[in-house]
Amino acid sequence: MELPIYLDNNATTPLDPRVLDAMMPYLTSKFGNAASRSHAFGWIAEEAADLAREQIARLIGCTDKEIIFTSGATEADNLGIKGVYETYQEKGNHIITVNTEHKAVLDTCKHLEKLGARVTYLEVDSEGLINLAELESAISSETILVTVMYGNNEIGVLQPVKEIAAIAHRHGALFMTDATQAVGKIPVNVDEDGIDLMAFTAHKMYGPKGVGALYVRRKNPRVKITAQIDGGGHERGMRSGTLNIPGIVGLGKACELCRLEMDNEGARLSKLRNKLESAFLQTEECYRNGNAEQRLPHVSNISFKYVEAEGLMMAMKGIAVSSGSACTSASIEPSHVLKSLGLPDNLAQAAIRFGLGRFTTEEEIDYTIETTLRAVEQLRSLSPVWEMYKEI
Protein backbone atom coordinates (compact mmCIF):
# COMPACT_ATOMS: atom_id res chain seq x y z
CA MET A 1 0.00 0.00 0.00
CA GLU A 2 1.26 3.45 -0.92
CA LEU A 3 0.73 6.69 0.93
CA PRO A 4 -0.96 9.10 0.66
CA ILE A 5 -4.32 7.41 0.27
CA TYR A 6 -6.77 9.25 -1.96
CA LEU A 7 -10.28 9.39 -0.50
CA ASP A 8 -11.51 12.58 -2.10
CA ASN A 9 -13.10 11.09 -5.22
CA ASN A 10 -16.05 13.48 -5.00
CA ALA A 11 -13.70 16.38 -5.70
CA THR A 12 -12.09 14.66 -8.64
CA THR A 13 -11.08 11.16 -9.70
CA PRO A 14 -7.77 9.96 -11.10
CA LEU A 15 -7.64 9.32 -14.81
CA ASP A 16 -8.14 5.63 -15.59
CA PRO A 17 -5.09 4.41 -17.57
CA ARG A 18 -7.46 2.87 -20.14
CA VAL A 19 -8.99 6.29 -20.68
CA LEU A 20 -5.55 7.82 -21.17
CA ASP A 21 -4.70 5.12 -23.72
CA ALA A 22 -7.82 5.97 -25.69
CA MET A 23 -7.01 9.70 -25.59
CA MET A 24 -3.32 9.51 -26.45
CA PRO A 25 -3.54 9.32 -30.27
CA TYR A 26 -5.77 12.40 -30.26
CA LEU A 27 -3.09 14.36 -28.43
CA THR A 28 -0.48 13.35 -30.99
CA SER A 29 -1.02 12.11 -34.54
CA LYS A 30 -4.83 12.48 -34.69
CA PHE A 31 -4.84 16.19 -33.91
CA GLY A 32 -7.40 17.36 -36.46
CA ASN A 33 -10.13 19.93 -35.98
CA ALA A 34 -13.53 18.21 -36.08
CA ALA A 35 -14.91 21.18 -38.01
CA SER A 36 -12.45 20.68 -40.90
CA ARG A 37 -14.62 19.13 -43.58
CA SER A 38 -12.07 19.11 -46.39
CA HIS A 39 -9.56 16.47 -45.29
CA ALA A 40 -9.01 13.26 -43.35
CA PHE A 41 -7.55 14.97 -40.29
CA GLY A 42 -10.91 16.62 -39.69
CA TRP A 43 -12.92 13.51 -40.54
CA ILE A 44 -10.95 11.40 -38.06
CA ALA A 45 -11.57 13.94 -35.30
CA GLU A 46 -15.26 14.11 -36.12
CA GLU A 47 -15.56 10.33 -36.09
CA ALA A 48 -13.95 10.27 -32.65
CA ALA A 49 -16.46 12.79 -31.33
CA ASP A 50 -19.31 10.77 -32.86
CA LEU A 51 -18.12 7.59 -31.17
CA ALA A 52 -17.93 9.43 -27.83
CA ARG A 53 -21.51 10.68 -28.29
CA GLU A 54 -22.63 7.08 -28.78
CA GLN A 55 -20.72 5.88 -25.71
CA ILE A 56 -22.32 8.60 -23.60
CA ALA A 57 -25.76 7.97 -25.09
CA ARG A 58 -25.55 4.28 -24.20
CA LEU A 59 -24.71 5.09 -20.59
CA ILE A 60 -27.60 7.52 -20.00
CA GLY A 61 -30.18 6.17 -22.44
CA CYS A 62 -30.41 9.07 -24.89
CA THR A 63 -29.55 9.59 -28.56
CA ASP A 64 -26.23 10.94 -29.79
CA LYS A 65 -27.82 14.17 -31.06
CA GLU A 66 -28.90 15.09 -27.55
CA ILE A 67 -25.36 15.60 -26.24
CA ILE A 68 -23.70 19.04 -26.17
CA PHE A 69 -20.05 18.99 -25.20
CA THR A 70 -18.91 21.61 -22.69
CA SER A 71 -15.84 22.33 -20.56
CA GLY A 72 -17.37 20.53 -17.59
CA ALA A 73 -20.38 20.41 -15.32
CA THR A 74 -20.13 24.04 -14.24
CA GLU A 75 -20.51 25.19 -17.82
CA ALA A 76 -23.24 22.63 -18.47
CA ASP A 77 -25.18 23.89 -15.42
CA ASN A 78 -24.81 27.47 -16.66
CA LEU A 79 -25.83 26.57 -20.21
CA GLY A 80 -28.85 24.57 -19.12
CA ILE A 81 -30.24 27.05 -16.60
CA LYS A 82 -29.42 30.30 -18.41
CA GLY A 83 -30.25 28.74 -21.76
CA VAL A 84 -33.74 27.72 -20.61
CA TYR A 85 -34.33 31.04 -18.85
CA GLU A 86 -33.57 33.03 -21.99
CA THR A 87 -35.61 30.80 -24.26
CA TYR A 88 -38.76 30.40 -22.17
CA GLN A 89 -39.13 33.95 -20.84
CA GLU A 90 -42.47 34.36 -22.57
CA LYS A 91 -43.89 31.53 -20.49
CA GLY A 92 -42.60 32.73 -17.14
CA ASN A 93 -39.64 33.72 -15.02
CA HIS A 94 -39.85 31.27 -12.14
CA ILE A 95 -37.16 28.67 -11.39
CA ILE A 96 -37.20 26.15 -8.54
CA THR A 97 -34.03 24.68 -7.09
CA VAL A 98 -32.73 23.43 -3.72
CA ASN A 99 -30.48 24.87 -0.99
CA THR A 100 -28.07 21.94 -1.14
CA GLU A 101 -27.20 22.31 -4.85
CA HIS A 102 -23.65 22.78 -6.05
CA LYS A 103 -22.52 26.40 -6.35
CA ALA A 104 -22.55 26.01 -10.12
CA VAL A 105 -26.36 25.88 -9.88
CA LEU A 106 -26.89 28.23 -6.91
CA ASP A 107 -24.67 31.00 -8.24
CA THR A 108 -26.19 30.70 -11.71
CA CYS A 109 -29.65 31.12 -10.18
CA LYS A 110 -28.45 34.11 -8.16
CA HIS A 111 -27.15 35.67 -11.35
CA LEU A 112 -30.52 35.20 -13.03
CA GLU A 113 -32.29 36.78 -10.04
CA LYS A 114 -30.39 39.98 -10.82
CA LEU A 115 -31.76 39.79 -14.36
CA GLY A 116 -35.35 39.45 -13.19
CA ALA A 117 -35.85 35.76 -12.46
CA ARG A 118 -37.83 34.64 -9.43
CA VAL A 119 -36.08 31.69 -7.80
CA THR A 120 -37.44 29.41 -5.08
CA TYR A 121 -34.77 27.60 -3.05
CA LEU A 122 -36.42 24.54 -1.50
CA GLU A 123 -35.21 23.43 1.90
CA VAL A 124 -34.22 19.87 2.78
CA ASP A 125 -35.00 17.81 5.87
CA SER A 126 -32.37 16.76 8.41
CA GLU A 127 -31.34 13.89 6.12
CA GLY A 128 -30.93 16.03 3.02
CA LEU A 129 -34.11 15.15 1.13
CA ILE A 130 -36.58 17.64 -0.31
CA ASN A 131 -40.27 17.48 0.51
CA LEU A 132 -42.37 16.79 -2.60
CA ALA A 133 -45.40 18.54 -1.11
CA GLU A 134 -43.32 21.71 -0.76
CA LEU A 135 -42.32 21.43 -4.39
CA GLU A 136 -46.00 21.04 -5.34
CA SER A 137 -46.94 24.19 -3.46
CA ALA A 138 -44.03 26.23 -4.86
CA ILE A 139 -44.65 25.33 -8.50
CA SER A 140 -47.03 27.37 -10.69
CA SER A 141 -47.85 28.07 -14.32
CA GLU A 142 -45.04 30.67 -14.21
CA THR A 143 -42.46 27.99 -13.40
CA ILE A 144 -40.28 27.25 -16.41
CA LEU A 145 -37.61 25.09 -14.80
CA VAL A 146 -37.19 22.80 -11.82
CA THR A 147 -33.51 21.98 -11.31
CA VAL A 148 -32.59 19.49 -8.60
CA MET A 149 -29.32 17.61 -8.32
CA TYR A 150 -29.30 13.84 -8.66
CA GLY A 151 -26.76 12.91 -5.97
CA ASN A 152 -25.24 15.37 -3.55
CA ASN A 153 -21.47 15.87 -3.73
CA GLU A 154 -20.99 16.30 0.01
CA ILE A 155 -23.35 13.78 1.59
CA GLY A 156 -24.24 11.55 -1.37
CA VAL A 157 -28.00 11.82 -0.84
CA LEU A 158 -30.10 10.95 -3.90
CA GLN A 159 -33.14 13.12 -4.49
CA PRO A 160 -36.29 11.40 -5.81
CA VAL A 161 -35.70 12.71 -9.35
CA LYS A 162 -38.41 10.63 -10.99
CA GLU A 163 -41.11 12.01 -8.69
CA ILE A 164 -39.70 15.54 -9.00
CA ALA A 165 -39.71 15.30 -12.80
CA ALA A 166 -43.33 14.09 -12.79
CA ILE A 167 -44.41 17.08 -10.68
CA ALA A 168 -42.52 19.51 -12.92
CA HIS A 169 -44.08 18.04 -16.06
CA ARG A 170 -47.59 18.05 -14.63
CA HIS A 171 -47.24 21.83 -14.30
CA GLY A 172 -45.66 22.35 -17.70
CA ALA A 173 -42.15 23.01 -16.38
CA LEU A 174 -38.92 21.45 -17.60
CA PHE A 175 -36.85 19.26 -15.30
CA MET A 176 -33.07 19.60 -15.17
CA THR A 177 -30.62 17.74 -12.97
CA ASP A 178 -26.96 18.19 -12.11
CA ALA A 179 -26.05 14.51 -12.18
CA THR A 180 -22.31 15.00 -11.90
CA GLN A 181 -21.93 12.65 -8.95
CA ALA A 182 -24.43 10.06 -10.14
CA VAL A 183 -23.65 9.45 -13.83
CA GLY A 184 -21.36 6.46 -14.12
CA LYS A 185 -21.84 5.46 -10.48
CA ILE A 186 -25.48 4.38 -10.42
CA PRO A 187 -27.95 3.70 -13.25
CA VAL A 188 -29.17 7.02 -14.67
CA ASN A 189 -31.61 6.87 -17.58
CA VAL A 190 -33.01 10.13 -18.93
CA ASP A 191 -36.23 8.53 -20.20
CA GLU A 192 -37.00 6.46 -17.12
CA ASP A 193 -36.20 9.38 -14.84
CA GLY A 194 -38.04 11.99 -16.94
CA ILE A 195 -35.00 14.24 -17.31
CA ASP A 196 -35.12 17.09 -19.86
CA LEU A 197 -31.64 18.51 -19.26
CA MET A 198 -28.70 16.95 -17.43
CA ALA A 199 -25.20 18.19 -16.58
CA PHE A 200 -22.22 15.93 -15.93
CA THR A 201 -18.44 15.91 -16.19
CA ALA A 202 -15.61 13.53 -17.09
CA HIS A 203 -13.28 14.16 -14.16
CA LYS A 204 -15.68 12.73 -11.59
CA MET A 205 -15.83 9.43 -13.48
CA TYR A 206 -12.16 8.65 -14.16
CA GLY A 207 -11.96 10.83 -17.25
CA PRO A 208 -9.93 14.00 -17.84
CA LYS A 209 -10.59 17.47 -16.43
CA GLY A 210 -11.98 20.23 -18.61
CA VAL A 211 -14.66 18.29 -20.47
CA GLY A 212 -18.27 17.55 -19.70
CA ALA A 213 -21.65 17.56 -21.35
CA LEU A 214 -25.19 18.83 -21.21
CA TYR A 215 -27.91 16.43 -22.25
CA VAL A 216 -30.80 18.30 -23.92
CA ARG A 217 -33.98 16.39 -24.74
CA ARG A 218 -35.04 16.49 -28.42
CA LYS A 219 -38.36 14.66 -28.25
CA ASN A 220 -41.37 14.77 -25.89
CA PRO A 221 -40.74 17.64 -25.42
CA ARG A 222 -38.19 19.19 -27.74
CA VAL A 223 -36.21 21.43 -25.39
CA LYS A 224 -34.70 24.62 -26.73
CA ILE A 225 -31.88 26.52 -25.10
CA THR A 226 -30.14 29.77 -25.95
CA ALA A 227 -26.39 29.49 -26.51
CA GLN A 228 -24.19 31.15 -23.90
CA ILE A 229 -21.04 31.02 -26.02
CA ASP A 230 -21.42 32.29 -29.57
CA GLY A 231 -19.03 31.74 -32.42
CA GLY A 232 -18.65 29.25 -35.20
CA GLY A 233 -21.92 27.46 -34.50
CA HIS A 234 -20.43 24.22 -33.19
CA GLU A 235 -22.69 21.75 -31.36
CA ARG A 236 -25.63 22.76 -33.56
CA GLY A 237 -25.19 26.38 -32.53
CA MET A 238 -25.65 25.68 -28.84
CA ARG A 239 -21.99 25.84 -27.82
CA SER A 240 -19.42 27.32 -30.13
CA GLY A 241 -15.72 26.60 -29.94
CA THR A 242 -13.42 24.00 -31.46
CA LEU A 243 -14.19 20.62 -29.93
CA ASN A 244 -11.75 19.34 -27.30
CA ILE A 245 -11.31 16.02 -29.08
CA PRO A 246 -8.84 14.34 -26.66
CA GLY A 247 -11.11 15.29 -23.76
CA ILE A 248 -14.23 14.18 -25.57
CA VAL A 249 -12.62 10.83 -26.44
CA GLY A 250 -11.74 10.50 -22.75
CA LEU A 251 -15.29 11.31 -21.65
CA GLY A 252 -16.66 8.72 -24.07
CA LYS A 253 -14.25 6.02 -22.94
CA ALA A 254 -14.91 6.85 -19.28
CA CYS A 255 -18.66 6.42 -19.90
CA GLU A 256 -18.13 3.08 -21.60
CA LEU A 257 -16.02 1.74 -18.72
CA CYS A 258 -18.54 2.95 -16.15
CA ARG A 259 -21.39 1.30 -18.05
CA LEU A 260 -19.59 -2.04 -18.20
CA GLU A 261 -18.30 -2.02 -14.63
CA MET A 262 -20.97 -0.13 -12.71
CA ASP A 263 -22.81 -3.10 -11.19
CA ASN A 264 -19.75 -4.81 -9.74
CA GLU A 265 -18.03 -1.59 -8.82
CA GLY A 266 -21.09 -0.13 -7.06
CA ALA A 267 -21.43 -3.27 -4.94
CA ARG A 268 -17.71 -3.33 -4.13
CA LEU A 269 -17.66 0.34 -3.12
CA SER A 270 -20.77 0.25 -0.99
CA LYS A 271 -19.34 -2.72 0.89
CA LEU A 272 -16.09 -0.86 1.58
CA ARG A 273 -17.96 2.34 2.43
CA ASN A 274 -20.19 0.48 4.87
CA LYS A 275 -17.18 -1.09 6.54
CA LEU A 276 -15.59 2.32 7.00
CA GLU A 277 -18.80 3.93 8.16
CA SER A 278 -19.83 1.29 10.64
CA ALA A 279 -16.42 1.47 12.30
CA PHE A 280 -16.96 5.21 12.77
CA LEU A 281 -20.58 4.95 13.85
CA GLN A 282 -19.63 2.44 16.53
CA THR A 283 -17.36 5.06 18.02
CA GLU A 284 -18.68 7.35 20.71
CA GLU A 285 -20.22 10.64 19.49
CA CYS A 286 -19.73 10.07 15.76
CA TYR A 287 -22.66 10.74 13.45
CA ARG A 288 -23.50 10.15 9.80
CA ASN A 289 -24.73 13.13 7.80
CA GLY A 290 -27.44 12.43 5.24
CA ASN A 291 -29.97 9.71 4.56
CA ALA A 292 -28.62 6.18 5.02
CA GLU A 293 -30.69 4.51 2.28
CA GLN A 294 -31.15 6.89 -0.63
CA ARG A 295 -27.55 7.67 -1.45
CA LEU A 296 -24.56 7.08 -3.69
CA PRO A 297 -22.50 3.95 -2.99
CA HIS A 298 -19.12 5.60 -2.52
CA VAL A 299 -19.59 8.52 -0.12
CA SER A 300 -19.70 8.80 3.64
CA ASN A 301 -19.92 12.06 5.55
CA ILE A 302 -19.23 11.75 9.27
CA SER A 303 -19.18 14.29 12.08
CA PHE A 304 -16.64 13.45 14.77
CA LYS A 305 -18.12 15.51 17.58
CA TYR A 306 -15.73 17.48 19.82
CA VAL A 307 -13.09 17.47 17.08
CA GLU A 308 -12.39 20.20 14.52
CA ALA A 309 -12.33 18.78 11.01
CA GLU A 310 -9.39 20.94 9.96
CA GLY A 311 -7.29 19.68 12.84
CA LEU A 312 -8.44 16.13 12.32
CA MET A 313 -7.41 16.17 8.67
CA MET A 314 -3.93 17.28 9.67
CA ALA A 315 -3.74 14.50 12.24
CA MET A 316 -4.92 11.91 9.69
CA LYS A 317 -1.49 11.72 8.15
CA GLY A 318 -1.31 10.20 4.70
CA ILE A 319 -5.05 10.33 4.03
CA ALA A 320 -6.54 12.81 1.57
CA VAL A 321 -10.12 13.66 2.48
CA SER A 322 -12.18 16.81 2.53
CA SER A 323 -14.03 18.66 5.26
CA GLY A 324 -16.68 20.23 3.06
CA SER A 325 -16.01 23.56 4.70
CA ALA A 326 -15.05 26.57 2.68
CA CYS A 327 -12.12 28.53 4.02
CA THR A 328 -12.70 32.24 3.63
CA SER A 329 -9.88 34.61 4.47
CA ALA A 330 -10.67 35.08 8.13
CA SER A 331 -12.76 32.13 9.26
CA ILE A 332 -13.81 28.64 8.32
CA GLU A 333 -17.40 28.65 7.09
CA PRO A 334 -19.33 25.43 7.63
CA SER A 335 -20.55 23.98 4.33
CA HIS A 336 -23.89 25.28 3.04
CA VAL A 337 -25.04 21.69 2.57
CA LEU A 338 -24.46 20.68 6.19
CA LYS A 339 -26.04 23.93 7.36
CA SER A 340 -29.10 23.14 5.25
CA LEU A 341 -29.50 19.85 7.15
CA GLY A 342 -29.83 21.98 10.27
CA LEU A 343 -26.55 20.79 11.74
CA PRO A 344 -25.28 23.01 14.55
CA ASP A 345 -21.92 24.66 13.82
CA ASN A 346 -20.00 22.35 16.12
CA LEU A 347 -21.18 19.28 14.19
CA ALA A 348 -20.83 20.91 10.77
CA GLN A 349 -17.27 21.90 11.60
CA ALA A 350 -16.51 18.36 12.75
CA ALA A 351 -17.52 16.76 9.45
CA ILE A 352 -15.24 14.81 7.15
CA ARG A 353 -16.22 13.54 3.71
CA PHE A 354 -14.79 10.20 2.68
CA GLY A 355 -15.10 9.70 -1.08
CA LEU A 356 -14.12 6.23 -2.24
CA GLY A 357 -13.29 5.38 -5.82
CA ARG A 358 -12.30 2.81 -8.43
CA PHE A 359 -8.76 2.51 -7.10
CA THR A 360 -9.64 2.32 -3.40
CA THR A 361 -8.60 -0.97 -1.80
CA GLU A 362 -9.75 -2.74 1.36
CA GLU A 363 -6.27 -2.35 2.80
CA GLU A 364 -6.58 1.42 2.41
CA ILE A 365 -9.95 1.40 4.14
CA ASP A 366 -8.55 -0.58 7.06
CA TYR A 367 -5.66 1.86 7.36
CA THR A 368 -8.07 4.80 7.19
CA ILE A 369 -10.27 3.43 9.96
CA GLU A 370 -7.30 2.89 12.22
CA THR A 371 -5.60 6.21 11.50
CA THR A 372 -8.78 8.26 11.76
CA LEU A 373 -9.94 6.74 15.03
CA ARG A 374 -6.49 7.11 16.54
CA ALA A 375 -6.43 10.78 15.51
CA VAL A 376 -9.93 11.38 16.89
CA GLU A 377 -8.97 9.82 20.21
CA GLN A 378 -5.77 11.83 20.38
CA LEU A 379 -7.47 15.15 19.63
CA ARG A 380 -10.26 14.48 22.07
CA SER A 381 -7.78 13.63 24.82
CA LEU A 382 -6.40 17.16 24.41
CA SER A 383 -9.80 18.84 24.27
CA PRO A 384 -11.31 20.58 27.30
CA VAL A 385 -14.77 20.38 25.68
CA TRP A 386 -14.46 16.61 25.42
CA GLU A 387 -13.33 16.45 29.02
CA MET A 388 -16.37 18.47 30.08
CA TYR A 389 -18.64 16.19 28.08
CA LYS A 390 -17.12 13.12 29.72
CA GLU A 391 -17.60 14.56 33.20
CA ILE A 392 -21.31 15.23 32.78
Active-site positions?
327
- Min CB(160)–ligand PLP separation in Å: 17
Considering the complex, state which of residue 102 and residue 298 has its C-beta at the smaller distance from ligand PLP. Answer: 102
Interaction of residue 178 with ligand PLP, rule CB under 6 A: yes
Query: Cβ-closest residue to ligand PLP?
Result: 72
Considering the complex, state which of residue 251 and residue 379 has its C-beta at the smaller distance from ligand PLP. Answer: 251
Interaction of residue 74 with ligand PLP, rule CB under 6 A: yes
| Binding to ligand PLP in span 250-279, by CB under 6 A | none
Considering the complex, state which of residue 102 and residue 380 has its C-beta at the smaller distance from ligand PLP. Answer: 102
- Min CB(25)–ligand PLP separation in Å: 24
- Min CB(122)–ligand PLP separation in Å: 16
Amino acid at position 17, single letter:
P
- Min CB(153)–ligand PLP separation in Å: 4
73, 144, 174, 365: which one contacts ligand PLP (CB under 6 A)? 73
Interaction of residue 45 with ligand PLP, rule CB under 6 A: no
The count of chain residues that interact with ligand PLP, using the rule CB under 6 A, is 14
Backbone φ, ψ for residue 319 (5° rounding) = -125, 120
What sign results for the dihedral spanned by CA atoms 70, 73, 79, 80? Answer: positive
Interaction of residue 335 with ligand PLP, rule CB under 6 A: no
Backbone φ, ψ for residue 280 (5° rounding) = -70, -45
- Mask 180-219, x = binds ligand PLP (CB under 6 A)? xx-------------------x-xx-------x-------
- Min CB(272)–ligand PLP separation in Å: 20
Q: How far apart are CA 192 and CA 220, in angstroms?
A: 13
Considering the complex, state which of residue 185 and residue 380 has its C-beta at the smaller distance from ligand PLP. Answer: 185
Which of these ranges, 28-36, 46-54, 173-181, 268-276, lies near ligand PLP under the rule CB under 6 A?
A: 173-181
Which of these ranges, 27-35, 72-80, 213-221, 228-236, lies near ligand PLP under the rule CB under 6 A?
A: 72-80
- Min CB(218)–ligand PLP separation in Å: 23
93, 97, 143, 153: which one contacts ligand PLP (CB under 6 A)? 153
Which of these ranges, 178-186, 243-251, 330-338, 371-379, lies near ligand PLP under the rule CB under 6 A?
A: 178-186
Considering the complex, state which of residue 75 and residue 265 has its C-beta at the smaller distance from ligand PLP. Answer: 75
The distance in angstroms from the start CA to the end CA of the chain is 42
149, 161, 183, 348: which one contacts ligand PLP (CB under 6 A)? 149
- Mask 95-134, x = binds ligand PLP (CB under 6 A)? -------x-x------------------------------
How many CB atoms sit inside 10 A of residue 245's CB? 24
**Long-range contacts of 389-392, Cβ-Cβ distance < 8 Å, separation of 24 or more:** 389/285, 389/306
Considering the complex, state which of residue 12 and residue 140 has its C-beta at the smaller distance from ligand PLP. Answer: 12
Question: With the CA atoms of 255, 258, 263 and 264 taken in that order, what torsion angle do they form, in degrees rounded to the nearest 10?
Answer: 170
Three-class secondary structure assignment of the chain: CCCCEECECCCCCCCCHHHHHHHHHHHCCCCCCCCCCCCHHHHHHHHHHHHHHHHHHHHHCCCHHHEEEECCHHHHHHHHHHHHHHHCCCCCCEEEEECCCCHHHHHHHHHHHHCCCEEEEECECCCCCECHHHHHHHCCCCEEEEECCCECCCCCEECCHHHHHHHHHHCCCEEEEECCCCECCECCCHHHHCCCEEEEEHHHCCCCCCCEEEEECCCCCCCCCCCCCCCCCCHHHCCCCCCCHHHHHHHHHHHHHHHHHHHHHHHHHHHHHHHHHHHHHCCCCEEECCCCCCECCCEEEEEECCCCHHHHHHHCCCEECECCCEECCCCEECCHHHHHCCCCHHHHCCEEEEECCCCCCHHHHHHHHHHHHHHHHHHHHCCHHHHHHHHC
Interaction of residue 324 with ligand PLP, rule CB under 6 A: no
| Binding stretches for ligand PLP (CB under 6 A) | 72-74, 102, 104, 149, 153, 178, 180-181, 201, 203-204, 212
